[in-house]
Amino acid sequence: MTEPILSMRRLGKTHGSGAQRVDALVNVDLDLMPGELVAVTGRSGSGKTTLLNMAGALDEPTSGEVIVAGENLATMSKNDLARVRRVAVGYVFQQFNLLSSLTAAENISLPLELDGMKPAGARALAEKALEEVEMAGMADRYPDQLSGGEQQRVAIARGLIGPRSVLLADEPTGALDEATSESILKLLRSRCDAGAAALMVTHEPAYAAWADRVVRLRDGRIEGISERTKTPLTTADIQ
Amino acid sequence: MGLKEGLLCLLVKGDAHGYQLKADLESTTGDTWQVNIGQVYTTLQRLERDGLVESIESNGDGRVVYTLTDLGRGAVARWLDAPVDLAAAGRDEISLKVLMSMVSGAIDPRRVVERQRGATMTILQDYTTLKANDSNDDFAWQLYLDRLILSAEAELRWLERVEARLDLMPPFQVTQLTESMDTDPVEVDR
């Protein structure tokens, strides 16, 4: 059995204390396997984004642990945490978050160069990543020369560049129209089918349905998980 | 839509015998509707009795060919023109289950909602996978699949609303516990 690429154990997060105490997350156990797309759903305030921030070392849990690619975030130094954020996990946000003064390729190669990779090597990887998100030939365009869907493709390419194998996506289709959203989900799905792993927060059931597993949070707890059927349906099954 | 309406619609295209109608019905619906030939003939006989079709002489090989009457043509037009009565589908099983769980006190109604949500999401995931892997361009099939996907989505939204309504109600007293049920309990906090 393969090891999970991301593992959350008895994860808890509490804000405030006494009467003001809010349990944002309570004893959440969740594993993400390579090749898996997992969606996190739930109402506003159910803990979706808190969970994603813990997974990506953007926030510290009050209890429990997060293990990314075999490394326990709780025992890491600040420098190591920064390295995890640069090279192990990638983020995709609703607002794309590309740097406007850099081209598509530069946006993608930046984290690799910051990690010490030579520009030529980083550029080659960026071009390959752009090809994988069907953006070959747009490497030298600036974000304002790209549509919303194209910018999100660049963000996904950046999220999965080089050694990065875990993509954390917070409402990645939030600002896009329906057809573009669907193409972004198709892309996430195919990147996962090719071996990446993604944890995606969404409030749209139709988008969550692209996932292998849909985790539903309620008041910081996992209320239910639904898994797609292992053997794919055929036309005969729904007649 | 019953077999009756299906057969009448197909006969608008032209006269046909029972086997032909069966094959047409199946191909028109992208093989999502399979009927047996016995049903087809029984229905045709009933339609003939009611004056909606007529049987004309056999076409040499002993098979009876059916043709649409004016009365039949009118019935097709009226049926196609009328919207589907969604109210008739109002007494559905999920609503009944939620209501019965509240009345009986045997199980928390929010558990009914959560169970259903999990099952419907799995179905939506499966349909979505099917659609994502779909490379053929069978129009009937895609039309049918889109409808299934959107229906599942609508059911999930509806369940969300049911849950929100339940949250506004006083806590439910579950009197009979679920010990005899062969399932994992779902943690439900209030």
B147-163 pLDDT per residue, tens: 999 999 999 999 999 99
Partners of A206 on chain B (C-beta within 8 Å) are 124, 128, 149, 153
Tell me whether A232 touches chain B (CB under 8 Å).
Answer: yes
* Residues of B with Cβ-Cβ distance to A239 under 8 angstroms: 31-34
Q: Which of A132-136, B66-70, B86-90 has the highest mean pLDDT?
A: B66-70
Question: Which of A44, A191, A204, A214 best tests the B interface by mutation, with the highest count of B CBs <10 A?
Answer: A214
Q: For residue B41, give how far its alpha carbon lies from the nearest alpha carbon of chain A (Å).
A: 22
Predicted local distance difference test score (pLDDT) of residue B100? 77
User: What is the value of pTM for the model shown?
Assistant: 0.77
B87 with B23: CB under 8 angstroms? no
Q: What does the pLDDT average to over B84-108?
A: 72
Categorize the per-residue pLDDT at A237 as very low, low, confident or very high, splitting at 50, 70 and 90: low
Rounded Cα–Cα distance for residues A156 and A169 (Å): 9
Q: Does the pLDDT value for residue B89 go beyond 70?
A: no
Q: Is some CB atom of chain B closer than 8 A to the CB atom of A179?
A: no
Residue A207 in tokens: 């988008």
Query: What residues 195-214 of chain A have any CB closer than 8 A to a CB of chain B?
Result: 205-206, 208-212, 214
pLDDT at A2: 80
Q: Based on the number of CB atoms within 10 Å of its own CB, is A174 exposed (0-12), middle (13-18) or buried (19 or more)?
A: middle
Determine, for residues B125 and A238 on separate chains, whether the beta-carbon distance falls below 8 Å. Answer: no
Picking from A151-155, A202-206, B72-76, B82-86, which range would have the lowest pLDDT averaged per residue?
Answer: B82-86
Is B118 within 8 Å of chain A by CB? yes
Closest CA–CA distance from residue B57 to any residue of chain A (Å): 35
Span B10-65, pLDDT tens digits: 898 889 999 999 998 888 777 777 889 999 999 999 999 999 999 987 767 778 89
Give percent of chain B above pLDDT 90: 36
A205, A225, A228 ranked by CB distance to B126: nearest? A228
Q: Which residue of B has its CA nearest to A39?
A: B125
Contacts of A210 in chain B (CB under 8 A): 125, 128, 132
Edge-to-edge strand list for the sheet holding A6-15 = A22-32, A6-15, A63-68, A71-72
The share of chain B scoring above pLDDT 70, in percent, equals 84
- With CA atoms as reference, report the closest residue to B128 among A24, A25, A233, A145: A233
- Give me the pLDDT at residue B139, please: 84
Tell how strand A63-68 and strand A71-72 pair up: antiparallel
The one-character DSSP state at B29 is T
A94 CB-side CA count, 13 A:
9
Please report, rounded to a whole number, the percentage of residues in chain A having pLDDT higher than 70.
96
Measured in whole angstroms, the distance separating CA B145 from the mean position of its chain's CA atoms is: 12
- Residues of chain B with Cβ-Cβ distance to A228 below 8 Å are 122, 125-126, 128-129
Per-position b or e across A24-49, b if 16+ CB within 10 A of its CB:
bbbebebbbbbbbbbbbbbeeebbbb
Is residue A19 pLDDT above 90, yes or no? no
- The DSSP output letter for B54 is E
Split at pLDDT 50, 70, 90, the class of B102 is confident
pLDDT of residue A143: 95
Q: CB–CB of A95/A169 below 8 Å?
A: no
- What mean pLDDT is predicted for residues B180-185? 49
Residue B1 has pLDDT above 80, yes or no: no
pLDDT at B5 over 90: no
